[in-house]
Homo-oligomer: A and B are copies of this chain.
C-alpha cells in the first residue's frame, strides 16, 4: 500500500477545531456540559451544527479533549515552572497553583465539575492525573515533615486541605477587586505556612482536642 501525502489543514484564521474547543470551554464552564447543546456550540463558532462532526465525533469527545488536555497542561506547567533559586518548595507550589488556577479558571472548573459527565475510562484517567498532581504536594509535605521543618499529622489529608483551600480562590476572585493576585498569593502562602508550621505558641504540640460536641 503506497503512502499518500497528508494534506495540510487550511489554516485561514483560527482553525475551526480550535474555535470549537474555545466555545465549548466557555459554554461548559458557564452552564455545564449537560445544559449545553451542540447547536449552542455551533452558534458560538458561527457554523451549522453538522459541521462540528467534521472535527469531533461526538459531544462527549469534546469534553474528553478539554479535560485530558487540561490535566496534561497542568502537569507540564508544573514541570516547567521556573522559580528563583532558593524558593522553597511550599512557596513554589502555592504560587504555582494559585496562578495556574486563576489563569485557567474555566478549564479548572470544568475538570472538577464535569468529572461525572465523563465516561468511565476517561474518568479514571483524569482521576489518576489528579492524583499525580496531588502527590507533588504530598511529597513536599512529607519531606518537610521528615526534616523537621514542618509538623504534619497526615500528609495526604493535609494535601487535600491545602489544595481545596487554594482551589476555592477562583470562585470569588474578580480582577479589579479589593485584592491583587499578588496579595492573594501572599495571604494564602502565609496561611499555608502557618498551618504546617513545626510549632505554634498557641498550640504547642498540637494537642488532640478530642470530640466534645454534644
Query: Which chain B residue shows the least CB distance to A99?
Result: B213
Which of B117, B182, B193 lies in contact with A32, CB distance below 8 A? B117
Q: Within A75-119, which residues are at the interface with B (CB < 8 Å)? A: 81-84, 87, 91, 95-96, 99, 113, 116-117
A214 at the B interface (CB under 8 A): yes
A209 at the B interface (CB under 8 A): yes
A186 touches B208 (CB 8 A): yes
**How many monomers of this protein are in the complex?**
2
**For the complex, what is the distance from the CA of A32 to the CA of B28, rounded to whole Å?**
13
A214 touches B84 (CB 8 A): yes
Count class of interface residues, chain A? 35 or more
A116 touches B202 (CB 8 A): no
B195 touches A210 (CB 8 A): no
Which of B113, B198, B202 lies in contact with A193, CB distance below 8 A? B202
- Shortest Cβ distance from residue A27 to the other chain B in the assembled complex, whole angstroms: 12
Q: Interface of chain A, helix or strand or loop or mixed? A: helix
Inter-chain contacts of A194 with B (CB < 8 A)? 194-197, 200, 203, 206
B214 touches A82 (CB 8 A): yes
Which of B30, B185, B212 lies in contact with A211, CB distance below 8 A? B185
A146 at the B interface (CB under 8 A): no
A-B contact pairs, 13 of them (CB 8 A): A82-B213, A84-B212, A153-B187, A153-B190, A157-B184, A160-B168, A160-B169, A161-B165, A161-B191, A165-B168, A186-B210, A193-B202, A197-B203
